[in-house]
Structure 1
Amino acid sequence: MSKNIIQAYAAMSPGAPLEPYQFDTGELQPHQVEVQVEYCGLCHSDLSVIQNDWKSSVYPVVAGHEVIGKVIALGSEAKGLKIGQRVGIGWTAESCQHCDPCLDGRQVQCSGEKVATIVGHAGGFADKVRAGWQWVIPLPDELPAESAGPLLCGGITVFTPLLQHQIQAVHHVGVIGIGGLGHMALKLLKAWGCEITAFTSNLDKTEELKAMGADHVVNSRDPNAIKALRNTFDLLLCTVNVTLDWPLLINTLAPNGQLHMVGLPLEPLQVSAGSLISLSRSVTGSATGSPATLRQLLKFAARKNIAPQIEIFPMSKINDAIEHLHAGKARYRVVLKADF
């Protein structure tokens, strides 16, 4: 078998069960790194791409963008990495490196040839995956390989807003939705030193959420409980993909507070200008993070012993894992162990 043949699991059409699939990647490009996959997280974004929810999928889809593995090949232009080194690859696989955002260290906002790891590119539900060397992130030795993958997507997604809004330990942060993203937000904010309120539709998880770092737990389906939090939050981090009572939530923001979107509701947000103007509030959003920010996150997680709570499935049981996630049973991130 050619050394360029990759064994993978692919969706051949929107929403189809994944099936074994192999393909020839061709020669490794000078700027690329090839990684032997050990573990790969399973994220709701993988489901969205498999199902073509965002109308951008290219079939066959080989999803998987929370990859942990070891470097097995380096292109001639790859820098700072070595064969055998354990690394991670997240949402982005390539960026142009010459547009203004890239030159400014904002590669995640690349306006050139940015390539998502799982859109028109083969991701980590495979035995090997390739990416541009800047996006192949060294894994600190202190981080367990099996649980580090979700930090590269879910983790960076909730870490970036803390830097963007200059959140400090004196701030009160609310987290809406304590699932794959939200539970990592609680752990990071606890290490950050913030006061934390968790919004959940399941109060049975109260003690578990407090163990993760929440100081307060609020029923997200109780309008009166939310009204009582008027003018409270310096940052309200929304991780869910559903439409909520946005005017009610905007009113929980303190002066200069931000409602920050990292979940992706498909319906437009209904927000009145007056609710923003009167107290200088704002609605913001962000994607994942630059290679430098990814490195910062992994170092911080290693220093503070932060790890996602995971469930491991063998990659050969990938369709079972997808059904588990789709049914809302994941607690709190699913990770696939390569067993090709």
Structure 2
Amino acid sequence: MTSVTATAYAAPAPKAPLERTTIERRDLREHDVLIDIAYAGICHSDIHQAREEWGRGSFPMVPGHEIAGVVSEVGPGVTKYAVGDRVGVGCFVDSCRECEQCQAGLEQYCQVGGMTGTYNDTDRQGEKTYGGYSTHIVVDENYVLRIPEGLSLDVAAPLLCAGITLYSPLAHWNAGPGKKVAILGVGGLGHMGIRIAHAMGAEVTALSQSLRKKEDALRLGADHYYATSDPETFSALAGSFDLIVNTVSAVLDLDAYLSLLKVDGSMVVVGAPENASSLNLFSLIGARRSLSGSSIGGIRETQEMLDFCAEHGFGAEIEVINADRINEAYERVMASDVRYRFVIDIASLRD
């Protein structure tokens, strides 16, 4: 096939409003699939990167790594997918495939050059990557996920980042029956953490700044809800949790939250603040606590997560928007004014 001209929304420069444009997708390589994108989620990391809050970006930038759509063409060597298959693409589209981590199915921790980001990156052939705020994308079949029939494409799209970002640490730290798990932050990531931890069988506590989201959190599966703006919360919950998953992308008083862990408890950070954090090491030493981080999941685990969500009958809580509202959506994300993930209807880009 010849290359595809895709309609897209791109940030032309750092901090500039996104605008409608066109991009060229590469010719299909032997193991590539062409995907007609149906929906793309808006992740807070899209905003961080478009505004160069995580370091220097590559512009024009087409964000988007929560992608759901349908295969429309396949390369000659493709064996995993066929035209018409419902598929997704997450945060990365390649890795070295040969290092210890890639061989173990942990491509997100690739040791040779790192994973190739779905956007704001350069692939291993030297071509710039563009993300899911576009009508089409071309991806190697080995980095494509199958979306189960039990999930509609719109609610499935955010699972490719928000879902796996929470599923991976909850699975790795063995959330389940008999475990007390706190999800810190009830937003695009946190709401998925509540749902997944509940489905795994853990006793789930939602921690959010105010009581504003209490009803939602309990509906999503939280057993308990506390406002972190209330100092009494920290005395009431001291030493309570086996696991805290911190989804907040802002600098917090880590010592205060670490005090909520039991002996041998772990706090796992998945939200990435723009600025550095600090802590008193005695918060760890005093109760053999751990402070860890986690980054999305590999292809195998992401597929496991999609199947888990379909089996339990849930996707993300979404608000679907047309592409011409992306800039408005960015501002609303920054104001925490979304319940709980914006998803772009890519059909609005085809008009």
TM-score by length of 2: 0.93
Residue 112 of structure 2 corresponds to: 112
Pair 1:187-2:195 in alignment? yes
| SS of residue in 2 equivalent to 1:203 | coil
State the Cα deviation string for residues 266-297 of structure 1 (Å, max 9, x = none). Answer: 33332233322232210001100011111111
| SS of residue in 2 equivalent to 1:204 | coil
Pair 1:272-2:290 in alignment? no
Q: State the 1:3 CA deviation.
A: 4.6
| SS of residue in 2 equivalent to 1:180 | coil
- CA distance in structure 1 between the aligned counterparts of 2:141 and 2:303, rounded to whole angstroms: 13
- The unaligned stretches of length 5 or more in structure 2 are 122-128
Residue 63 of structure 1 corresponds to: 63
CA contact (8 A) 2:26 2:138 kept: no
**1:281 counterpart letter in structure 2:** R
Identity among equivalent positions (%) equals 33
State the Cα deviation string for residues 130-165 of structure 1 (Å, max 9, x = none). Answer: 222122100000101111111110110011001211
- CA distance in structure 1 between the aligned counterparts of 2:193 and 2:77, rounded to whole angstroms: 36
Q: Report the count of equivalent residues.
A: 339
| SS of residue in 2 equivalent to 1:208 | helix
Q: State the 1:315 CA deviation.
A: 1.9
**2:14 counterpart letter in structure 1:** P
Q: State the 1:336 CA deviation.
A: 0.5
- CA distance in structure 2 between the aligned counterparts of 1:204 and 1:176, rounded to whole angstroms: 14
Residue 92 of structure 1 corresponds to: 92
Q: State the 1:126 CA deviation.
A: 0.5
Residue 125 of structure 2 corresponds to: none
Pair 1:153-2:153 in alignment? no
Could you tell me which of 321, 331, 338 is aligned with 1:330?
A: 338
Pair 1:122-2:130 in alignment? yes
Q: Alpha carbons of 1:324 and 1:271: their partners in 2 closer, same or farther (altered >3 Å)?
A: closer
Alignment of 1:1-340 (within 5 A): 3-113=3-113, 114-120=115-121, 121-338=129-346, 339=348, 340=350
CA contact (8 A) 1:227 1:248 kept: no
- CA distance in structure 2 between the aligned counterparts of 1:289 and 1:225, rounded to whole angstroms: 32
**1:175 counterpart letter in structure 2:** I
CA contact (8 A) 1:93 1:130 kept: no
CA contact (8 A) 1:56 1:119 kept: no
**1:36 counterpart letter in structure 2:** D
State the Cα deviation string for residues 188-230 of structure 1 (Å, max 9, x = none). Answer: 1111111111111120322221111111111111223112211
Q: State the 1:168 CA deviation.
A: 2.0
Q: Alpha carbons of 1:66 and 1:315: their partners in 2 closer, same or farther (altered >3 Å)?
A: same
CA contact (8 A) 1:96 1:112 kept: yes
- The unaligned stretches of length 5 or more in structure 1 are none
Q: State the 1:18 CA deviation.
A: 1.2
Deviates more, 1:313-322 or 1:153-162: 313-322
**2:254 counterpart letter in structure 1:** W
CA contact (8 A) 1:33 1:130 kept: yes
Residue 124 of structure 2 corresponds to: none
Q: State the 1:166 CA deviation.
A: 1.8
Q: State the 1:86 CA deviation.
A: 0.7
Q: State the 1:7 CA deviation.
A: 1.4
Q: State the 1:248 CA deviation.
A: 1.3
Q: CA RMSD in A?
A: 1.5
CA contact (8 A) 1:313 1:337 kept: yes
Q: Alpha carbons of 1:153 and 1:163: their partners in 2 closer, same or farther (altered >3 Å)?
A: same
Q: Alpha carbons of 1:227 and 1:126: their partners in 2 closer, same or farther (altered >3 Å)?
A: same
- CA distance in structure 1 between the aligned counterparts of 2:342 and 2:329, rounded to whole angstroms: 7
